[in-house]
Amino acid sequence: MKAISHQAPDGHKLAVYRFDPPGPARGQVVIAAAMAVAQSFYAPFARYLAKRGYATWTFDYRGIGESLAGPRRRVKADLGDWLHQDYDALLRTVAERAPELPLFVVGHSFGGQVAPLLPSRERIAGLVNIAVGSGSTRHLTPRTRRSAPLLWHVLAPTLCPLFGYFPGSRIGVVGDLPTGALMQWRRWCLTPDYLLSGEPGAREAYATARFPVLALSFADDELLHESGARLIHGAYRHGGVDFRLIEPAQHGLERIGHFGFFKPQCEANLWPVVAEWLDHAAGAARRQA
């Protein structure tokens, strides 16, 4: 694991780590995090992919984890900044580092939801979506659906002006987020089809994306319902989506949920599913090249 000095196009310094394979790389992978999740959470999975032959990159969006510079209240960032200044800029840097290697994205929740909106998406040879679905209130699990109005109509509009950011870690909700990011996410969640109807151009971006997609959704996801995962992946029109609903018991696991895939408990049974798909997609990309 190596710390990489990286700056967004607007000069903001971002924390980036690269996990190198022991031999020649067969491809490159960028892991894009879920909302408010630090990149350190993905380090075990990144090491695993590196051992399988993939140069793997993790990063923190501005205002999150090691990319937080100064007081949280001073972070002026929305999801557009995360997408264009942070996520896409790193994707271009990685692609230019080794243009002969196929480049893949592993997106967890938010990181997979916005992948079709990346300006540099034509560089993506394949997308692996982990627990990616619609965050619209109507697509939440019953328990989460009952608490969503409190978050969107009381906590968000009250706490953001009071603290200058959303102090989610203090109250055990989502995590600490810049106000701009939370309020844009709020808009998506309060529309019927999430970002497909809440973000201009998103539905067309999905419809015109041409990279193949592996989507792993989990039957015991405590946040997102299966119907929302199928809605999101049904918006793709090209490239092909391999959608798999995972039952934990079928893989010898008691629980996976929204976050469990990236924990070492899944290394033996589920991580090889992604690695084998990447191997197949990397071979196809090399043949096409």
The ranges of the chain with pLDDT < 70 are 239
- Smallest Cα–Cα separation from 281: which of 186, 211, 185? 211
What lies within 8 Å, CB to CB, of 95 at 6+ separation is 28, 103, 120, 123
- Smallest Cα–Cα separation from 54: which of 276, 262, 266? 276
pLDDT the model gives residue 209:
97
Q: How far apart are CA 69 and CA 278, in angstroms?
A: 35
pLDDT the model gives residue 287:
85
The CA-atom distances, in angstroms, between 246 and each of 139, 215, 218, 257 are 18, 10, 5, 10
| DSSP string computed for 84-151 | IIIIHHHHHHHHHH-TTS-EEEEEETHHHHTGGG-TTGGGEEEEEEES----SGGGB-HHHHHHHHHI
pTM, full prediction: 0.96
Strands 165-167 and 176-178: antiparallel
Partners of residue 7 on adjacent β-strands:
13
pLDDT the model gives residue 219:
97
Strands 13-19 and 54-59: antiparallel
How many other C-beta atoms are found inside a 10 Å radius of the C-beta of residue 9?
A: 11
Backbone angles phi, psi at 166, to 5 degrees: -95, 110
Class for domain 2-141+200-288, per CATH?
alpha beta
Helices 179-189, 156-163: crossing angle, 10 deg rounding: 170
| pLDDT tens digits, one per residue of 21-32 | 999 999 999 999
pLDDT the model gives residue 289:
73
Q: How far apart are CA 86 and CA 14, in angstroms?
A: 8
pLDDT the model gives residue 5:
83
Q: How far apart are CA 96 and CA 221, in angstroms?
A: 36
| pLDDT tens digits, one per residue of 236-279 | 998 689 999 999 999 999 999 999 999 999 999 999 999 999 99
pLDDT the model gives residue 286:
83
Domain residue limits, the chain = 2-141+200-288
- Smallest Cα–Cα separation from 28: which of 64, 6, 53, 59? 53
